Amino acid sequence: MNYNIRQLLPIEPTQSENESIRFILIGSRDWITETIHTLHHLGFAEASLWSPNTECSEASVPVPNSTEAMALLKRTRSR
């Protein structure tokens, strides 16, 4: 079954003007980069809006494999 990314994650006005959601990718740097570009091609978010890939140990995030990296994206709904 194929879904359009915009159908799954629509950006619509809500009750709160400042409502936001954060997306976190944790994994190898290569896989994070590939996923960010895939999401960009699907129309989810510009690749430049994601944070730089940071090693999880530098970001103080407890993960089982300390060689993993992390990227963050924050989206805010606007009225």
User: What is the reported pLDDT for 1?
Assistant: 45
* 23 contacts 9 by C-beta, under 8 angstroms: no
CB atoms within 10 A of CB 69: 22
* Residue 67 in this model has a pLDDT that exceeds 80: no
44 belongs to a structural domain:
yes
Q: Could you tell me which residue, 78 or 2, shows the higher pLDDT? A: 78
Please state, in angstroms and rounded to a whole number, the distance separating the CA atoms of residues 70 and 43: 21
4 belongs to a structural domain:
no
- pLDDT tens-digit profile of 21-64? 899 998 888 999 999 999 999 999 999 999 887 766 555 555 56
59 belongs to a structural domain:
yes
How many domains, the chain?
1
37 belongs to a structural domain:
yes
Structural domain of residue 66, as residue ranges? Answer: 29-79
End-to-end CA, the chain: 32
Q: Could you tell me which residue, 68 or 46, shows the higher pLDDT? A: 46
DSSP 47: G
